[in-house]
Amino acid sequence: MPMDGLPHYASGPVIKGFGRGSKQLGIPTANYPEDIVDSLPQMLNTGVYYGWANVDGGQVYKMVMSIGWNPFYKNTKKSMETHILHTFPSDFYGSLLRVCILGYIRPEKDFKSLDDLIAAIKSDIVFADEALEQNEMLQHKKDQFFQTNNVED
């Protein structure tokens, strides 16, 4: 179902996040700096989204993104945390991350336990993986946005 403000494109350097994705959850995320988060359109609600992403102009992969304050962790700063459905050999802090946000999965919410949070994220990943196989979603994988090789400051 189409949502106002989508697709939304974002591009910027990967910064160190809260250090929880890989360590506590086993689900590594790439985080954007505050200025990228602050430039999100007001119409994009907090929650979990899906779309496409690439790092330093490389291959385009499926992704799931959490936008918001992560109620389970009671964050005080809004964040954009991208989990790319690909295993990278190492961290890529400082690399240029491009994302195309295409769809909304669910609102953010609190969880009773870390296991419940992990189960929800894994469910989000399955949802995104399947949704991105639709023809109207696959066409965005070849978007010119991902093809440009100019590295932004």
Instruction: Identify the structural domains of the chain with CATH numbers, from first to last.
Output: 8-145 (2.40.30.30)
Residues near 117 by Cβ (< 8 Å), separated by ≥ 6?
Answer: 25, 72, 111
pTM to 2 decimal places: 0.90
pLDDT in tens, 97-130: 999 999 999 999 989 998 999 999 999 999 999 9
For the chain, list residues with pLDDT below 70: 1-2, 20-23, 148-153
Three-state DSSP at 44 gives coil
CB contact at 8 A, 101 and 65: yes
Which of the residues are catalytic? 81
Residue 54, CA distances (Å) to 4, 46, 109, 139, 152 in order:
23, 22, 27, 15, 14
Q: How far apart are CA 70 and CA 20, in angstroms?
A: 12
On the 0-12 / 13-18 / 19+ scale of CB atoms within 10 A, 63 is buried
**In this structure, which amino acid lies at residue 25?**
L
- pLDDT for residue 134: 96
- pLDDT for residue 74: 72
DSSP one-letter string for 82-96: EEESS--SS--TTSE
